[in-house]
Amino acid sequence: MLIMGGEMEKSESTLNNSLVFAVNGKKFEVSTIHPSTTLLEFLHSHTPFKGAKLSCGEGGCGACVVLLSKYNPVLDQVDDFTVSSCLTLLCSINGCSITTTEGLGNTKDGFHPIHERFSGFHASQCGFCTPGMCMSLFSALVNAEKTPRPTPPSGFSKLEVSEAERAIAGNLCRCTGYRPIADVCKSFAADIDMEDLGFNSFWRKGDSKEVKINSLPFYNHSNEICTFPEFLKNEARSALLLDSRRYSWYSPVSIEELQRLLGSIEDGNGSRVKVVVGNTGMSYYKELESFDKYIDLRCIPKLSMIRRDDTGMIIGATVTISKAIEALREGNIVWKKISDHMEKVASGFVRNSASLGGNLVMAQRNHFPSDIATVLLAVGSLVNLMNGLKSEEITMEEFLRRPELDLKSILVSVKIPDWDWIMSISAGTKMKLLFETYRAAPRPLGNALPYLNAALMAKISRCASSSGMVVSDCRFAFGAYGTKHAIRATKVEEFLTGKVLSVYVLTEAVKLLRSIVVPDDDTSYPAYRSSLAAGFLFEFFSHLVEGNAESPNGYVNGYSTLMSPARHLDHGKVSTLLTSGKQEVESNKQYHPVGEPIAKSGAVIQASGEAVYVDDIPSPTNCLHGAFIFSTKPLARVKGIKLKPKSVADGVNAVISFKDIPGENLGIKTEFGPEPLFADDFTRCTGQYIALVVADTQKHADMAADLAVVDYDMENLEPAILSLEEAVRQSSFFEVPSSLQPKQVGDFSKGMAEADHKILSAKIKLGSQYYFYMETQTALAVPDEDNCIVVYSSIQAPEYAQSTISRCLGIPEHNVRVITRRVGGGFGGKAMKAIPVATACALAAYNLRRPVRMYMNRKTDMKTTGGRHPMEVTYSVGFKEDGKITALHLDILINAGIGVDISPIIPLFMVGAIKKYDWGSFSFDIKVCRTNHSSKSAMRGPGEVQGTFISEAVIEHVASVLSMDVDSVRSKNLHTFNSLDFFY
């Protein structure tokens, strides 16, 4: 292995031959490991602690959250914070302590009150996300104890309700709903109103406040778990660096040493080097190939300092976003607003390890839609760059505009100006400063990239000749709207500078801005993004256009020189979760114990991480891992599959296709028909499985599958059917058995003749929906004696898997054993769609005579598992003046995809939901269309969800035409006894 320049100069006494850390108080020493290994991979493969789960693999769901504790020997204090273990590299936790949910409590030693309350408040359903929730809450409790707040009442913590609600911001749950989870968190808060806590198994209706408090599992805030064991403090004091010769992990301690390291990298020598701080960039930019060397920047003091003077604050490039937020929050109102905006970036457990510099470099080099770059651009921040011996300080605007930084360029620090100081020396007392940041995203509390972000700053003063306000100077930054990087709207700035604000001026500025903020081609929602920019600019200035009289206290409509915290506009502030509520459930003793709030059996071990899911089962000896190669073409011949030579070197054992199947090429078999496991000579939809790569690790299998090259041929083939209209033209339909065909009701023509009003041929389009179960598709197949096989599968229909596997392998059904203990979320997606995963693992294990397992990555899962059925609906409806509907006709086209799956039952379920109203007469023509899309399957209320949407859309359309209250129209069309008899 090549030893990079500078590393040999280190004294052997400063190098550590072992990676040393603790997990739940137990010491671990790792002599050698690949530097790309994540903490989560290590926990699952080398420890008994399986509580942290892999779900999204991007730090976006919280299932893998653990508590990381670092000891500072200078201050003699421990810092505790959550991190995503799926992103945290194992080599980066040298000398640290990790606490997982198993470290809080367990069946043998007793459960933690967090575990017991998750169970008692019914806050765990599938349980896959619960361990991460527990650790996010535990971190909040630990850090609340470090505050100088008064001692809380017995059984409570120093946590406040608002903090308790925010503790799980970023932790996704797909089953339970957040009400009971929020109740668990708030039950620890000292300022909780016990009446706000919902249905639980601890107390009964009518119990007093004292009884309720005493019924909660007792929490002793002064006797919390030690997160950093004493034996590890000696390791931390020694501050030993990892031996780079053993780990390919380099930790330079100075800028000069970093430059020597980077200077030793010769272009074109084939060595792939990754510079890391928190490794959170991997969540957005996936590693398609492994790196040879890792350079960790966190040990360089110059990159990790925060310094403040009169002119501004200098933040080192490796300072985490969380630390930057803390520092900025202590400053002036502009800095506080920047910190508030930064809190909307990602989630806490990502911000705790993500660096400020890393975010900016991704924005500059990879065109990442950064919020931080936009905000810092607006306030005139400066960037300190170093390349070799050359050091320069440039504006953020120039930094973003430059060609992409090469690996040898180092972002050293960012300087954020102090606008208090700037205004005091340049503007005098009559100039006022306005500053606001904006962000529009699918979810307000991080974990969602923005449609557009903006930061607007302006200096204003009162016009000497009128009552209006003059814009003296302004800086407007917009980003993340479908452009390479954040921009300054300089033309708008120039237009407004020197002008008196008026409706006309503001309108013209908005028009000009719309011509500037234009998303690139192929950007989603382009018109919406442009309108957001216009709306933000209008909102920023609108309060100054009218009623500009200055108030006696010196504020301009609530703005001071740097806005008063109590008076300034508070854009973008949203409540975190529930703030108050009341839940009452009437119990009936007649059917006891039905209806009693009994805690779910197994909920507490789900919370403690002891519940075993398929991926938690330890890998048997010689276990291999699989990953699907899937089609990227909707209709094509498959001429061959090639793996890149490096993939073969990285542990690939076999590639299994339809040619290797000993029995039938069968992946799914329902009563409506079969679907193949692998494409044969033709692939008939994007996402169809073509082959299975089997390798020594899941990471190697995934990489090999991603890098596989499929040779397609599309000559002399009919065009793929990619629309419902084309399916109708070609009469491409699945047959619906007569026993499942719903019956029409009444005479539509007669009903329409009775109507006073008619809506004809109105249209509705319903898209698909991905399942997003927390646990992706997974299975483990183990060959057994006497030509038998045992398959552990996360499946909702194991009996279907058993019969499919037996036919695929050509063995009797009694030779196949399918075991399902629990499923980490399913929603119908693990009924039929889990069968080919289990079958593929069984096939590989059967052929190779070795155990084979698969944990499908999220991207592959989303592209291959179909989802809910998309539809196009055309309806005609007749109705009376009073809102009573007399006739409804529906033409429905259902996109079933390429495979039949369970699609023929969808019409019956849809009609059942639509018939909840009395339509007078009801006719329909429903076609289940076969297209070259991935086959759709059952998904939580299959057909019923779409049917309900359609019926409510019709009702609301009728109400709109009649200008009636929609609930009045609903009431008018509810069933009577006679109509029920007629419809059913």
Question: What is the pLDDT, as a whole number, of residue 31?
Answer: 87
Question: What is the pLDDT, as a whole number, of residue 188?
Answer: 97
Tally of CB atoms within 10 A around 652: 23
Q: Could you give the CA distance from residue 230 to residue 673 in angstroms, rounded to a whole number?
A: 63
Query: Residue type at 275?
Result: V
CA angle 61, 65, 69 (to 5 degrees): 150
CA distances from 666 to 462, 676, 679 (A): 78, 4, 10
- Residue 94 C-alpha from the chain's centroid: 28
- Residue 559 C-alpha from the chain's centroid: 37
Query: Residue type at 302?
Result: K
Question: What is the pLDDT, as a whole number, of residue 551?
Answer: 36
> What's the DSSP call for residue 660?
G
Question: What is the pLDDT, as a whole number, of residue 543?
Answer: 87
Which two structure tokens, joined as six digits, stand for 969? Answer: 């129209």
Please give the full DSSP string across 367-401, using - where no structure is assigned.
----HHHHHHHHTT-EEEEEETTEEEEEEHHHHHH
Q: Which helix (H) or strand (E) holds 335?
A: helix 333-342
Mapping DSSP to helix (H, G, I), strand (E, B) and coil, where does residue 765 land? strand
Q: Of 865, 860, 849, 790, whose CA–CA distance to 821 is shortest?
A: 790
Q: Could you give the CA distance from residue 948 to residue 572 in angstroms, rounded to a whole number?
A: 33
Residue in the structure block whose two tokens are 């619906």 = 736
Query: Residue type at 228?
Result: F
Whether the CA torsion 71, 75, 76, 80 is positive or negative: it is negative
CA angle 652, 655, 658 (to 5 degrees): 170
Which two structure tokens, joined as six digits, stand for 662? Answer: 């000993």
CA distances from 538 to 508, 549, 945 (A): 11, 20, 39
Which two structure tokens, joined as six digits, stand for 766? Answer: 């319903």
Q: Could you give the CA distance from residue 933 to residue 688 in angstroms, rounded to a whole number?
A: 9
Tally of CB atoms within 10 A around 783: 18
Q: Of 108, 118, 65, 96, whose CA–CA distance to 227 is shortest?
A: 96
- Residue 582 C-alpha from the chain's centroid: 30
Query: Residue type at 21?
Result: F
Alpha helices by DSSP H, listed for 402-468, are 419-426
Give burial (CB, 10 Å; 0-12/13-18/19+) of 5: middle
Pairing of strands 871-879, 885-897: antiparallel
Q: Which helix (H) or strand (E) holds 531?
A: helix 526-545
Structural contact between residues 633 and 797, judged by C-beta atoms closer than 8 angstroms: no
| Greatest extent of the chain over all pairs of C-alpha atoms, in Å | 99
pLDDT along the chain (984 residues), means of 10: 33 65 95 92 97 95 97 92 98 95 96 98 96 98 96 95 92 92 96 92 92 96 89 72 77 91 68 91 86 92 95 97 97 96 95 97 96 98 92 96 91 96 73 94 84 96 84 96 96 96 94 96 94 96 67 37 34 50 74 85 97 98 98 97 78 96 97 97 97 96 94 95 98 97 96 98 97 97 97 97 98 98 97 98 98 97 96 98 98 98 98 97 98 97 97 98 97 96 93
Q: Of 306, 345, 313, 346, whose CA–CA distance to 332 is shortest?
A: 313
Query: Residue type at 635?
Result: L
Question: What is the pLDDT, as a whole number, of residue 236?
Answer: 66
- What pTM, to 2 d.p., does this model score? 0.92
| Plot region of 93 (φ>0 → left; ψ -120 to 50 → alpha; else → beta) | alpha
